[in-house]
Every structure is written in C-alpha cells, then in structure tokens.
Structure 1
Amino acid sequence: MNRLAALILASLVCFQCAQKVAPTGGKKDEIPPKLVASHPVNKATNFKENVITLTFDEYVVIDNLMQKLIITPETDNTYTPLVKNETVILKFKKPFADSTTYTLNFGDGIKDQAERNPAQNLKLVFGTGALIDSGRVYGTVKDIRTNQPVFDALVGLYRLSDTLTPERIKPYYFSKTDSSGRFSIENTQLANYLLIALTDKNKNLLYNPKDESIAFIDTIVQVKSDTNNYQLSLFHSDVTEPKIQRTIPKVNDYTLVFNKGMDSAAVDFHQGPNLHYQLESPTQLKFYNIPAQTDTIRASITVRDSLGYELTFDQKIMFLPQRGKEKQPSPTSIKNTPPTSEAIEPLLNLELALSKPILNFDSTMLTITADSMITVAQQNTSFTWNRDRTLLKLKAATEAKDSVVIRIAKGAFISIENDSIPATTYKYNILKPADFGIIRGTVQNPSGRSFFIELLDKDFKNVISEVNTSPFVFRNIKPGNYRMRLILDDNRNGRWDTGNFKRKQQPEKILVYPSELIIKSNFEYEENYFTIPSR
C-alpha cells in the first residue's frame, strides 16, 4: 500500500512539472489584430443581407466605432455594433440599397483586447448588385497659406446639382486625409461629381463656414476607372451674413457688436448731430456721446466685411441717462509700433495707435532727437492719419548713429472726450547692420502679374516684412528661422483675398517657398525664389 501511494505521489509531481505556465515579463505585444474572415467577403457582389461580421485572429474590442467607421456612399441606414470574442458584428436596421457598391473604412475603431493595438488598413468593400464599382479619385489637401498638409480633412464627391450647398448636403462618397494630407476615394460609380474638401471640425459631414475651411475644384470631376489625381488648397471664408449680435449702451458711448469682423463702416445721421464713431475692433462699432445728447439719434449704417458682404440698416442710438455722480470717460492710451525693445533704422517709420479718435494733434509738441543732441526738423517729418484718427503714421529722416528719442508732451493729442495722454518718451537704439542678415531675390514673372512677398516667422503666424517688387530685398533681418511666400494680387488691392464657394470664386493664389530660411548675422542670401505661372 505504501508503495502504491509513493507511485501516485511521484506521478502527480511529474504531471505538475510538465504543465505549461504563462511566461512572465517578455516583450510587449505590438502585433495588431488580423482579419481572418468576413461576411460578406471583400469585393463580394449581390449582398442582400443587413448583418456584417468580421472575425480576427485574437480577441478584439471596439473603440468609438460609430464615429470612426466611414461608410460610403453616405447612408442613413443606422446600425448596432456588437463584439463576441474575436468577432465584430454590425447589425443594420435595413438592407442596403440595390445595385450599389459600399465601402466600410474602419479607421482605428477595432483594436486587440490586450494592448489596444488597432487593426491596420481595415476596409471592407461589397456590392449589392452584380458588379463592384471601379471609380477612384485621389490626391492631397494642403493649407493654402502655409502649403502644409492637412490631417483628417474630409474630402467628398458630391452629386451634381444647381443648388448644391455643402452647408446642408452631405457628400455622396467621401474619405479622410492621412498625416501627409493624402486621400483616396475608391469604388465609386463612374460618373460626374463636384469635389470638395472641408476641415469638418464637428464631424457632421457638413460645411460650417464660420469655423471651417473649404477647398473645391472649379470644374466637374469626371470619375473614371483609371485614377484621377487632384490637389486641393483649403482656405477659410466666413460667408455668414453680417448681423448685429447686441448693443452696449452707456452714458458716454454706445456700441454695436457684430457677429463677424468688419472691414469698414459708413454712417449717415438723419437730421441730427454727427456723432464721432470708430471701428474700435473688427466686431465693434462705437459711437461717442459728443456733443452730449439726451434724445435718440437716428442713423443709417452700412458695414462691409472682407468678402464684400454688406449690411445696411437704420439704427436708433440712445445713450444711458446720467445718474448720480458724473462718470469720467476712460483715459486715452497710446501704443507704439515697433516697440522700443527693437532696434530701428535711421529712417524712422513709427506707428502710434490711440484708443480714441483724436480731435486735435499739435505736431510741435512732438520732438525727435538723434544721438541725444540733434533735433530733427519738422520739414523732415511727415504725419498720416487713418480715417478714424486713431492711428498716426510718423516718418522722419534722421542721420542717427546710436539712438533716436521721440518725446510727446502732454496735450499733443487731445481726444474727442477732451483728455490727453500723459507725457511720453520712446527711445530706440539704431541697429547695426552687421548684427543682421539680408535676403535678396528675384521673381520670374513672364506675364507681369501683380504680387507681393511676405517674410514670416517660421510658424507662418506673423508677417515680419513685405515687398512688392523684383528684384527684392529684405534688410536687417534678425538671425533666426523664417518662411516666405508670394501672393498673387491680381485685383491690385494690396492684400490677399480669400475665396467664396457660393460665388464659385477661388482665393488668390499663394506660392510658398518650400523650405525654411535660416538667417545668420552679417550674411546675405540671394536666389531666384519664385516663378509666377502665366494666367
């Protein structure tokens, strides 16, 4: 008996030693799940069911699939996603439309259960008719102002219609761009379409012109079985109609707030006093209670945005009555450009921005001194005001070697509210050319088209300088990295004009120099930077 027990014990020990134990540690699983079967199979025809299954080589989970799964053509056939171990099941509410090729692009919506590795390039194509459509359109989407690729832009093929408005109509076929801005719309019907790209920030497949950018091809796109390659450049174009959002009445002023930025405002007062007014910001038109009014003032106002959309309306302007102690107006402030932290050239070019319209300016109370001793004569100084008398451009020819000092006495500027800025002094150092770089270049322009060139910071956010001739030169550039672009100014208005899908108007073309310019001190760069195409 003891011998039998010993044999059983030995057998149990050997059995336990032979059992497989999961290894500890080791490399992390980075292998994505692989599709091993689907119903229907890829490129299947005559599919008449409303349930789709996909089976993988390991357990999977879905991740926000209803937002990530792109089904084209666009369909209102809702579905419910389910997961059972290695299988994903899509139960659609109804069968698919007859004689149509469908493409299901899953993005990264299906991942393995263990490490959440997404299935790669997961796409299923099937047809409900006897054939699989073979049309394909591909290309790239970039930002027009930077020429940089745009990731996750919506690119759509729209059925032809005289009343097509992407604000209300979704694309029939669509795709999303990858990190290189590339897109591909495949298995489409061989037909004619309109091709439009959107940033589609809210993911609703519709165009929101206030917040989203758009690009479109002017001509009808003829989709064939051979590939069609298109380059689209996104631009922002806020075509929403101007309107008043609210009014801000106060004792000393009355402000209209608009829903978008305005380029200009014109006011006609009806048989009443002409109040002072200004576009205090692109969205705010301010009227000053000068001369002081207690009655309602009626005015006809026309505002115009950068796209040429106008709003003309009659407005009653009523200031709040004075209650209690008289409220003092806010003091007038002033801002100088460039700031005094920047060195300047001896040929002074200064902008003074004031917070209120200026009623009186005494130029004799503004003095300019070069190198602490030489006073610049008035005849060598020029002053130019904007329409609202809120921006003064000052130019002065000096022979300064070290510094320029501008002194503004109190009382030099008297605002419409009868106050003045305090005495103010600006001191600028004169730059030393050896500390800066120079960019020289030429533009090949066989058709003689109008243009201007912008030198920008490396992120395309700020314009450093601008020229409009060839050959051109940018002088006294601080060492650093810069970008450069040429804007075709065909309407010769001195600025870039965006496009307008409603008017089928493309934006003015922009040529972006392909690489950064690395500027060093005491160094000149010269090249044929741009070639302008013929019209």
Structure 2
Amino acid sequence: MTKNRLLSFAMSLCCLVLAISLMVSCASIGPGPQGGPKDSIPPKVLNMLPENLTRNFATKKVLITFDEYFKLNDQFKQFSISPDIEILPTLRVKGKILEIEFTDTLESNTTYTLNFGKSIVDVNEGNSLKNFSYVFSTGPELDSLTISGNIRNAQTGKPEIEAAAILIPFGRDTLFEKKKASIYALTDSSGNYKISNLREGKYHMYALKEQSSDKIYQQSTDEVGFVKDPIVLTKDTQQVNMLVFKEVAETFRVVDRRLNTDGTITMNFNQQLDHPGLTVIEPANLDANKKYKFSSTGDSVKVWLTDLSFDSAKVSITNGGQLLQTINFNRGKRETYTRSLIAADNLEGNLLNPNHPLIFTFGFPIESVNPAKITLTEDSVKKTDFKLEKDSSNFLAYKFIYPWRAGRIYEIKADTGAFASGFDTRSKIFTKKFELAKKDDYGTLKVKILTPEPNKQYLLEITNESKNVVSRLTVNQDTTVSFTNYRAGKYFIQIVYDTNKNGKWDTGNYKKGIYPEKIFHEPKELSIRANWDRNETITLPKEN
C-alpha cells in the first residue's frame, strides 16, 4: 500500500514538473518585452518646502521633491546663487528629494535666486530640467523685474540654442572673464531667453555660446555677444537682442601643429591672416623646394617637404612680411610615413558640368604623369586625343582636357603609377565613370540690388543648400548682377555690410565695444530651374 502511494506521488510530481516546464517554454517563445518609447521628459517638481517665491525666508534648509530619481550633473559649473554669498549652499540628493542647506548668513530684505542651469537630470536618460530656479526673499518684498530677448549667430543669423544671456551689475563687468556669472538664463530652441526676479539697477548685458558651460568667457573657445550701453532696469524690459560672434585673438598664436603620419605638416592659427607667408629656417636647404597652401580664410596652412631626414626643423609664419611666430618640429630617426595618392574630382555625382573642365585633385603635389597608364573610353570606344594639364592655380590639381559630348558615357581608368608624387608615392588603380551634363540642366539668376546709402560697400554672397558660398562679388551702388550656369537647385543670398571696405566680413570686439559687421540674409529661397532665367529684386535695409 505504501509502495503504491509512493509510486502515485512520484508520478504526480513528474507530471507537475512537466507541466511547469511546458508553461515556461511557452512563455519563452518569441522575444521578450521591447520597452516603450525612449523617455525624453526631464524631472518634474512636485513640491517645494518652503514654497518658491517665499517672503520672509528664515529657514536653513529647502526641500524640493521631484517625480522621479535624478542626479546633479556638472553642479559646480551649472549652479549659482544671486546675489553672491561667500559660502555656497550645500546640495544633497536624497532619493527623489533635493536638499539645499545654507551655512552662510543671508542678507536681510534681499531677494535670492538659486539658478540650477542644466544640472538637474534624470538618472536613466539624462534629460535635463533647463533654466530651473528657486527664488525667495529674506524680507517682505520680492524683486520682480524681468528682461527678455533673443540671441542669434552674427554670421548665420540663426537662433542660438542654450546660449547664456548674462547680467552683471554695473561696475563689476571685469568679472566677466574671471568669475562664474550668477544672473543668467539659457535660450530655448528659438533663441529666446528671459531672466526674472531682478532688482532695479544698472547692469551690463552679455551673451555666451560656450564650450565648457562654466559661464566664464574664454576667448579661445567661446562666442560672445554684448549690449554696448549699460541697461538701467526700472521696469520689465523686452527685445534686448544680441548677436554672438567669435573674437579675433589679440596676439597671434599657432594653436595646433602636427607632423602628420603621411609626412605633411599642418598648423592652425588663432587669427585669419591677410597676407600670410611661410619659410623653413632650419634646415635651410628645405626651403627652396617646399610647397605650402594656406586656407582661403588664412587661419591654417599645410606644408609639403621634399626631405624628411631632419631631426628637427624650424618654420616661421609671417603676415605682410612681418614675423609672427617660429615653430619647431622634431621627429624620431626611426619614424616612417605612410602616403596614399588618391584622386578626388569635381564631378557632380556622375555628371560633369559642361561649363567647367574635369579636374583631379590629390593630397600631394604631383611630380609626374604617365598618360600611357590612363585609358579613356567614349561609349566603350577607346580615345587617345586627351591631354593632362597642370592647374596653374592649384599645384595639387590636374585638368583632364577632352572635347566632351552630351549623351555619351565616359570612363577613365588609371593604372597603378599613372600619377606619381615625392618619396616614390604612386597612385593606385582608379576608375571614373560619368556623362556630360546637359546645358539645359543649368539656369541663371539675375538679381537687382537696391542699396540704401551712397558711398557704402556691400559683399554679396550666393550660398547653396549646404550653406557653402558658391559665388561672391562687391557692390557699391544700385546694380543688377547675373549668376549664370548654376545647376538647378535651391540657393540663398546673404549680403555683408562692409563698413570698413576691406572686402571681407569683420567680427567684433566686446572690450572695445565693436559690433561685428552686419549681415543681411534674404529670407526668400531662390530656386533656380533648369534652362530658366530667374529675376529677383533685393532692397537692402539701412544699417542700424
């Protein structure tokens, strides 16, 4: 009897285990829960004790409760209190509660603003609660004035997102580059800002688009804006708009220098040079055969030397013949360099602009070309009546000359060594396949410019959809200009008010109270249609 019961119990247990296994197996079929949409909502305040905007504040602690777990990010750069106190309050995160404890004595009858910037972020996704502040008064009255406006980029005209609008009490503006600003607000996605709970007084106004978020202006990395005259705040003030710009450094300096793995030398400067020059001082024998190319803006240079056996080299940078800086380059005796000779081209996709020659551009100066290693076919028929010609304006480029015809398919095959550079560097096999674009695919834009004042100079620039300048010219009076043979597409016009008539846009200087030169952005998109002439009139507003 006992044996039968044990056997029955064992069978029941086996059945139970089998049933559980089947249930687990069924539940495991297919992927598990994938989760909902990504959280993009920052922490939300549920409660403040004492309440925000409390008068006759007399406690030493403030408790702020949020709807989710959070952390303090970059606290020492983001958090500030205005007016300044000697010892900052202590911030502690306790679950979903932020505890703020004051250890310093607060002034009586004073409105204090605790500005958290972007320091409060949720734990999971790092969503920040922007422009969060806690305000209280140690007296019966709260400061309640506001100032608001917009911050945009001086060159692009686009709104600056998360730029800082900064107020500094009059007479303390020397702290702008030395101490973290305590009265500020960050701009929204439209570039708008608003600073609240301000007291009556006289202020200096600045804007910062910075790299480090420490609210201290650093000329080498940050963009700055300012209001030239002090602001006397006696009522709510709107439309205090600013443009941010990158200042030119007062003293020239090479900010980056490299002897690259391919043997080239590159240098970046903190200024744009108008008439730059370069000389290899040591070893002196390298100077004669060197080649160098400054960027179009004059703020960088690339150098190609014909001998890299030196232990050290000295290179001088000049502007208008005046020595600016001498740079040393050192190399190890066992250092080797790897070079690749790759041909870039000016094709527009697989089409060659009929108004321009085919150009191959390389990363190194070309010393020799072997046409025998280059094959051209037109509709699969081999052609030999082509020429390769050095580009007189660019020592890195070669023109491929041939009487191209529309409706034909061309293919250029270059075998290994078709192009050769220094140090026995040879091009690898490459192929270019393309057609000649039809002239009917291009159009013309005619623009009539009406200038607001005589004896002024303006720089008109045409930009494409990528905001690259494709054409520019100088305008001194009412005139009509034609931009011909432009591929169909969207174009834009911007016009620089060239106040000092030096033929380029000039930035500003906040210490000298100099604003950057104004740029007018034509709001209308100027689409060019194929085989079509478009006529537009632009009336420039008078410079404020």
Q: TM-score range by the shorter chain?
A: 0.5 to 0.7
**In structure 2, what is the equivalent of residue 278 of structure 1?**
292
AA of the residue aligned to 1:266: L
Equivalents in 1 of 2:143, 2:109: separation in Å?
10
1:77 aligned to which of 83, 88, 98: 88
Aligned residues: 478
Would the alpha carbon gap of residues 407 and 172 (structure 1) be closer, same or farther in structure 2, given more than 3 Å must change?
A: same
Instruction: Say whether 1:313 aligns with 2:326.
Output: yes
**1:531 is aligned to 2:543:** no
2:253 is the counterpart of 1:242: yes
Partners of 2:109 and 2:149 in 1: CA distance: 27
Q: 1:495 to 1:229 in 2, by over 3 A?
A: same
User: Distance between the aligned counterparts of 2:136 and 2:405, measured in 1?
Assistant: 77
Q: CA deviation at 1:375?
A: 7.5
Q: Quick one: which of 143, 148, 154 aligns to 1:144? A: 154
Tell me if the contact between 2:448 and 2:538 (Cα under 8 Å) persists in the aligned partners.
yes
Q: For residue 50 of structure 2, what is the aligned residue in structure 1? A: 39
Are the aligned partners of 2:461 and 2:470 in contact in 1 as well (CA < 8 Å)? no
Instruction: Give 1:177 deviation, angstroms.
Output: 1.3
Partner of 1:188: 198
Alpha-carbon distance in structure 2 between the residues aligned to 1:146 and 1:174: 24
Code of the residue aligned with 1:63 in structure 2: it is F
1:302 correspondence with 2:317: yes
Pairwise CA RMSD of aligned residues? Answer: 5.4
In structure 2, the residue matched to 1:3 is none
SS where residue 471 of structure 1 aligns? strand
Give the AA of the match of 1:487. V
What amino acid sits opposite 2:89 in the alignment? T
- Following superposition, the deviation at residue 156 of structure 1 comes to 0.3
Partner secondary structure for residue 146 of structure 1: coil
Instruction: Give the letter for the 1:139 counterpart.
Output: G
Cα drift, residue 178 of structure 1: 1.9
TM-score by length of 1: 0.67
2:461 corresponds to 1:453: yes
Q: After the TM superposition, which of the residue ranges 142-151 and 63-72 deviates more from structure 2?
A: 63-72
Q: Is the 8 A contact 1:368 1:404 kept in 2?
A: no
State the shift of 1:161 in Å: 5.4
Question: Does the CA contact (< 8 Å) of 2:82 and 2:182 recur in 1?
Answer: yes
Q: 1:269 — aligned with what?
A: 281
Q: CA deviation at 1:155?
A: 0.9
Structure 1 window deviating more from structure 2 (116-125 vs 102-111): it is: 116-125
Over 3 Å counting, the alpha-carbon distance change for 1:221 and 1:443 in structure 2 is farther
The answer to whether 1:288 aligns with 2:302 is no
1:357 maps to 2:369: no
Provide the C-alpha distance between the structure 2 equivalents of 1:455 and 1:189, rounded to a whole number of angstroms. 45
Of the candidates 335, 340, 346, which is equivalent to residue 337 of structure 1? 346
Matches within 5 A, 1:84-103: 89-103=99-113
Deviations 1:90-142 (A, max 9, x none): 32232334553223456898999xxx999999754333356543543210112
1:486 counterpart (495, 516, 522): 495
Cα distance change of structure 1 residues 334 and 90 upon mapping to structure 2, 3 Å threshold: same
Q: How many angstroms does 1:43 deviate by? A: 6.0
After TM superposition, the structure 1 = structure 2 runs for residues 50-449 of structure 1, keeping only pairs within 5 Å, are: 50-53=60-63, 60-61=67-68, 63-64=70-71, 67=75, 71-73=81-83, 77-81=88-92, 89-104=99-114, 124-129=134-139, 131-160=141-170, 164=174, 166-237=176-247, 239=249, 242-243=253-254, 248=259, 253=263, 255=265, 264-267=276-279, 269=281, 272-275=284-287, 276-279=290-293, 285-286=302-303, 288-290=305-307, 299=314, 301-302=316-317, 311-313=324-326, 315=328, 321=333, 330=339, 332-339=341-348, 341-345=350-354, 347-348=355-356, 352-358=360-366, 383-386=391-394, 389-391=395-397, 415=421, 417=423, 429-447=435-453, 448-449=456-457
| TM-score calculated relative to the size of structure 2 | 0.66
**Distance in 2 of aligned mates of 1:183 and 1:313:** 45
Say if 1:333 and 1:79 are closer, same or farther in 2 by CA, change over 3 A.
same
Further displaced range: 263-272 or 219-228: 263-272
Hey, what's the Cα distance between the residues in 1 that align with 2:210 and 2:422?
46
Tell me the CA shift for residue 359 of structure 1: 6.0
CA distance in structure 1 between the aligned counterparts of 2:172 and 2:397, rounded to whole angstroms: 46
Matched residues in 2 for 1:367 and 1:492: separation?
A: 50
Which is worse superposed, 348-357 or 220-229? 348-357
After TM superposition, give the deviation of residue 300 of structure 1 in Å.
5.2
- Whether the 8 Å CA contact 1:79–1:91 is kept in 2: the answer is yes
Separation in structure 2 between the aligned mates of residue 413 and residue 375 of structure 1, nearest angstrom? 19
Q: Is 1:436–1:478's contact at 8 Å kept on the other side of the alignment?
A: yes
The answer to whether the 8 Å contact 1:486/1:530 transfers is: no
The residue identity in structure 1 corresponding to 2:193 is F
Work out the CA distance in 2 between the residues paired with 1:82 and 1:376.
75
How many angstroms does 1:301 deviate by?
A: 0.6
Query: Partner amino acid for 1:278?
Result: Y
Give me the identity figure in percent: 21
Aligned position for 2:24: none
